[in-house]
């Protein structure tokens, strides 16, 4: 694919980690940030880690949206709605927006192993309400540890992909399966994101309790349900 | 252990499956049912499957509660509160009640891949409000497929155990780890059951979509976080 993927909020740990993995897989990445200078700095760091063949650039968030029709949103929940309102004019019709946001209670000073109730049902459904018409929202990547993404080990986690647009689900699943050992699973409708988002809070609680970097695997489905990535780098 | 385990609602698929697995592991099981005759029939079926060494009896639910201080509740959510109110006088002080209830929307005619909002936060927390003082409630076993439990294969699923009583958590973890390939994980406080319960709805959705018997595994925690069962029968 020669299509660029814009990672909105790409200077945070989750965004940087995803950008790193996707750049390693040969994808063309645009790091988006409120601050274009920071976006460029993160792009440079990723290039150093991946090597000179890495296709990574950095832009201010709205310029990043304007430059791509495949967006990945990796911002804290407290920034999500306001940022999407700002970016609305820049998001191209027909774009796919992959939302990794989790409404952790930490967003309002609470605990990271608790979840806020979101009126729409989930952070991803809130996003669906805020993007321009004709933009497909996909919920994915919420359960993958940012620490693991930023490390060198394979990612021992499934990515459950939820969307009301089956074509967008397929694209997000293909993207997820580019990360070594990730398996993408079609999780059905976007409304199911509310459960997938909550799993992140459970994993954070387990990480605190057991000192790990928890992930999740779904067992017991037929082989065809899993879109598996390469087994290792 | 020579202690009996009473499975309240033990004639349903989840209760029968758990009873079967625990009887196979050498535990002494009392099947509880509204109807003592049905309880005895289920006990007979389990004895046929496990063999003559199986220690399985059947009693009406309140008699089962009175005969054991380790209870496992496996009833549909729509029966949970009323049944607990009825059983309250029979539940012995100091008992441990392991609750596997999931508040599926199917309980009120909705879909099995959706969850009802429970005022207390989760079905298990509702149970905690309804049991006599001094009874410890543990949430566990919600994510294990009843079909798989009733089959002969090992169980490819972790059991996330949540309780406000660490001693009760330990007992439930030991019990879960008696099922071949199950790993028990301390999931922290009882309030975390609200996420574990929802995972069941996600798995049911995946089962419908992909025609499987989904389970869940938590990855990325240190070895000590997992209490693993025997690798096979």
A206 to chain B, closest Cα gap in Å = 6
Query: Are the Cβ atoms of B206 and A187 closer than 8 angstroms?
Result: yes
Q: Decide if pLDDT at B57 tops 70.
A: yes
Query: Are the Cβ atoms of A220 and B214 closer than 8 angstroms?
Result: yes
Query: Are the Cβ atoms of B186 and A210 closer than 8 angstroms?
Result: yes
Beta carbons within 8 Å of B217's beta carbon, 6+ residues apart: A216, A217, A218, A219, B156, B157, B158, B183
- In this prediction, residue B229 has a pLDDT band, given cuts at 50, 70 and 90, of confident
ipTM field = 0.94
Rounded to two decimals, the pTM is 0.95
Q: What percent of chain B has pLDDT over 70?
A: 98
Which sign, positive or negative, has the C-alpha torsion B69, B70, B73, B74? Answer: negative
pLDDT, position B196: 98
Q: What is the pLDDT of residues B215-228, one digit of tens each?
A: 999 999 999 999 99
No. of helices (H) and no. of strands (E), chain A? 8, 10
Contact A199, B192 (CB under 8 A): no
- In this prediction, residue B3 has a pLDDT band, given cuts at 50, 70 and 90, of confident
Point out the residues of chain A with pLDDT beneath 50.
1, 233
pLDDT, position B233: 45
Q: What is the pLDDT of residues A180-189, one digit of tens each?
A: 999 999 999 9
Q: Which residue of A has its CA nearest to B191?
A: A114
Q: Which residue of A has its CA nearest to B217?
A: A217
- DSSP-derived pairing of the beta strands A183-186 and A226-228: antiparallel
Q: A157 — phi, psi (to 5°)?
A: -155, 140
pLDDT, position B114: 96
Question: Using CB atoms, which residue from B160, B192, B219 is nearest to A217?
Answer: B219
A189 to chain B, closest Cα gap in Å = 10
B54 to chain A, closest Cα gap in Å = 28
pLDDT, position A3: 87
Residue-averaged pLDDT of chain A: 96
pLDDT, position A231: 65
* Whole-number Å distance between alpha carbons of B99 and B91: 14
Question: Using CB atoms, which residue from B115, B160, B206 is nearest to A218?
Answer: B206
Chain B residues within an 8 Å CB radius of A188: 113, 205-206, 209
Query: Are the Cβ atoms of B185 and A206 closer than 8 angstroms?
Result: yes
- DSSP-derived pairing of the beta strands B183-186 and B226-228: antiparallel
Q: Decide if pLDDT at B2 tops 80.
A: no
Residues paired with B136 in a beta bridge = B96
Residue A82 CB burial class (10 angstroms; 0-12, 13-18, ≥19): exposed
Query: Are the Cβ atoms of A219 and B195 closer than 8 angstroms?
Result: no
Chain B residues within an 8 Å CB radius of A224: 210
Query: Are the Cβ atoms of A214 and B211 closer than 8 angstroms?
Result: no
* Whole-number Å distance between alpha carbons of A77 and A104: 7
Q: What is the pLDDT of residues B142-162, one digit of tens each?
A: 999 999 999 999 999 999 999
B149 to chain A, closest Cα gap in Å = 12
Q: Decide if pLDDT at B25 tops 70.
A: yes
- CA–chain centroid gap for A218, Å, is 19
A128 to chain B, closest Cα gap in Å = 20
pLDDT, position A229: 75
Interface test with A, best of B163, B190, B220, B221 (most A CBs within 10 A): B220
Interface test with B, best of A111, A210, A211, A226 (most B CBs within 10 A): A210
- In this prediction, residue B231 has a pLDDT band, given cuts at 50, 70 and 90, of low
Q: What is the pLDDT of residues A81-105, one digit of tens each?
A: 999 999 999 999 999 999 999 999 9
Question: Using CB atoms, which residue from A205, A216, A225 is nearest to B188?
Answer: A205
Q: What is the pLDDT of residues B82-124, one digit of tens each?
A: 999 999 999 999 999 999 999 999 999 999 999 999 999 999 9
- In this prediction, residue B232 has a pLDDT band, given cuts at 50, 70 and 90, of low
């Amino acid at each position: 694919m020669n299509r660029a993927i814009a990672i909105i909020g790409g200077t945070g740990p989750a965004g940087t980690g995803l950008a790193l993995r996707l750049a390693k897989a040969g994808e063309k990445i645009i790091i988006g940030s409120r601050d274009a200078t920071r976006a460029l700095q993160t792009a440079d760091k990723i290039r150093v880690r991946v090597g000179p063949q890495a296709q990574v650039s950095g832009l201010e968030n709205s310029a990043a949206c304007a430059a791509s029709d495949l967006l990945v949103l990796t911002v804290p929940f407290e920034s999500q709605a306001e940022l999407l309102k700002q970016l609305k004019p820049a998001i191209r019709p027909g774009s796919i927006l992959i939302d990794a946001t989790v409404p952790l209670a930490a967003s309002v000073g609470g605990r990271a192993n608790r979840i806020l109730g979101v009126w729409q049902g989930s952070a991803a459904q809130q996003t669906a309400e805020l993007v321009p018409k004709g933009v497909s929202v996909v919920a994915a990547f919420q359960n993958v540890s940012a620490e693991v993404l930023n490390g060198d080990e394979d990612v021992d986690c499934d990515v459950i992909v939820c969307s009301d647009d089956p074509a967008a689900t397929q694209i997000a699943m293909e993207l997820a399966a580019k990360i070594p050992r990730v398996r993408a699973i079609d999780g059905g409708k976007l409304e199911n994101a509310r459960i997938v988002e909550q799993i992140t809070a459970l994993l954070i609680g387990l990480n605190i309790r057991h000192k790990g970097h928890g992930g999740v695997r779904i067992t017991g489905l037929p082989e065809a349900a899993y879109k598996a990535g390469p087994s290792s780098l």
